[in-house]
Amino acid sequence: MDVLKKRIGIVGGGQLGKMMILEAKRLGFYVVVLDPASDCPASSICDELICESFTEDAGYITLASKVDVITYEFEHINADILFELECSGHLVYPSVRSLMDIKDKYKQKTVLKNANIPVPPFVLVHNIDEIYQLCADACFGLPLMLKTTTGGYDGKGNALIRSLEDVPAAYALLGAGALPLMAEAFVDFTKEISILATRGIHGDRVLYPIAENAHKNSILDVTSVPADVQEAVIYKANEIADNVMDVFQGVGTFCVELFLTKSGDVLVNEVAPRPHNSGHYTIEGCFANQFENHIRAIVGLSLGDTALKQPTVMVNLIGQSAGKTKLLGLEEAYQDPHVHIHMYGKSQSAIGRKMGHYTVVGGTHAQAIQKAMHFKNIIKVMGEGEQ
């Protein structure tokens, strides 16, 4: 079959799905999206939109009937029906095995640990008494990170326990045992870094430069590349990312989020089987961005060059208030040719919602960071009527 005649199905029409489509449409691919929202960001550019639930089977079955290959933009989807479709001969990339292993954080960490990939100490939690015991345990202690094993993102599903007095509130916040929980030893990291890796259907792979990430309110705030780390750290991170792709036999773009400790250890925080927020810098910063390589991988094309063209800083645009989306600072920002703004097409702003991002490219690394921080006070997303 002519590669360019392959029809692509994407589960999820958010900003990641939209950016996948932008790359797919450059080559003329036909793209069908499954999303319950008729006005999702991808709705304006996909060829077909199937408005069905992510939890029910019907939308997936319809999607599979219309496309040659299925991919997805986030993990919290119906893996069971995707497994049935995969078993009946439909192509799903990354594989459903990858999805099932990764979407459950406890299972993800277990797979990584069994493959001798470094992770923080972790354990399942069955009741509040076990949390108190872990707080006094030599391997865990305080602070202690409590997580739901599924469904968490951008800090949701996590609770940091700093003292014994925090235990009841953290336990209640995460469902008081209604949801499976796990505990992780708190990592006193010096930096949060991440690395993107793309693997093709024939096993070929590429790695992107190491990115340095800063979070605010548990949401990614700023990503700067190249990361300010030693060569030994780059080597360890590359090795870990390579091993992760082997372990999960991933096809497509994956992101490996890492902690760098004071002792120089590199530990896996989480793995995402898809393009990632921390990889948006690649759109302007690299020769082939994370979305292009994801599309190239899942349809069987050779992978593009991941080299960094110039220092790049990405800043997330987070909703500052609720209401109809309004972007402030566009005119002033675009007086600088090195600033690039990406709006996701979400009609309603909400406090803490990812509404877009901007990148600053060029100059030295320090100059790019300085300029990006300058524009943080200028480029903002508010609800209509807010200033």
3-92 belongs to which CATH class? alpha beta
List phi, psi (to 5°) of 60.
-70, -40
Q: Are 13 and 40 in contact (CB under 8 A)?
A: yes
CATH number for the region 189-383 comes to 3.30.470.20
Q: Where are the CATH 3.30.470.20 domain residues in the chain?
A: 189-383
What residue spans in the chain does CATH classification 3.40.50.20 cover? 3-92
Stretch(es) of the chain classified as CATH 3.30.1490.20: 121-185
Question: Is the CATH code 3.30.1490.20 the one for domain 121-185?
Answer: yes
pTM of this structure: 0.95
Measured distance CA(348)–CA(125) in Å, rounded = 38
Q: On the CB side of 241, how many CA atoms lie within 13 Å of its CA?
A: 28
φ/ψ region of 218 (left if φ > 0, alpha if ψ in -120 to 50, else beta) reads left
Per-residue model confidence as pLDDT tens for the chain (387 residues): 788 889 999 999 999 999 999 999 999 999 999 999 999 999 999 999 999 999 999 999 999 999 999 999 999 999 999 999 999 999 999 999 999 999 999 999 999 999 999 999 999 999 999 999 999 998 999 999 999 998 877 778 899 999 999 999 999 999 988 889 999 999 999 999 999 999 999 999 999 999 999 999 889 999 999 999 999 999 999 999 999 999 998 899 999 999 999 989 999 999 999 999 999 999 999 999 999 999 999 999 999 999 999 999 999 999 999 999 999 999 999 999 999 999 999 999 999 999 999 999 988 999 999 999 999 999 999 998 655
